[in-house]
Amino acid sequence: MVLNASSPPDIDTVFKNLARQRIGALLVDADTLFVSRRDQLVVLAAHYSVPAIYDLRDYVTSGGLMSYGSSLTDAYRRVGTYVSRILKGTKPGDLPVEQAVKVELVINLKTAKALGLDVPPTLLARADEVIE
């Protein structure tokens, strides 16, 4: 099921619908609205006891359950490489389009415990970072 939100009040409505429909988990897609409303999403997921996975680690450090997505640190390094090449004379149009090279899995065990979830040891072993 896909639920859409295009404003902060829509986010509240989506979570009310999740609770009413007893949806068991939530995948929050990459979106500038969601990034700007990170704390709202994390608080509502906790309030409605909805396990959620996000695309950025910042959600997890704010109390979200887990994230799996591109490493922003790695992406920023790659931007620096692009800027360097442009400053040395390479035309931006001649630079290749690159996909994320490094993705990371971050898990918040404190949140998992609050949600009553047991995270399998095999998943914890694969995580790039576990917040306790």
- CATH number for the domain spanning 49: value is 3.40.50.2300
Structural domain includes residue 77: no
Structural domain includes residue 54: yes
Q: Report helix, strand or coil for 106.
A: strand
Q: Give the confidence band of 61 by pLDDT, cuts at 50, 70, 90.
A: very high
Residues 64-74: tens digit of each pLDDT = 999 999 888 88
Question: How many structural domains does the chain have?
Answer: 1
Residues 63-122: tens digit of each pLDDT = 999 999 988 888 888 888 889 999 999 999 999 888 877 899 999 999 999 999 999 999
Structural domain includes residue 1: no
Structural domain includes residue 31: yes
Q: What is the dihedral of CA 110, 113, 118, 124, to 10 degrees?
A: 0
Structural domain includes residue 17: yes
What predicted TM-score, i.e. pTM, was given to this entire model?
Answer: 0.82
> Tokens 């099921």 identify what position?
1
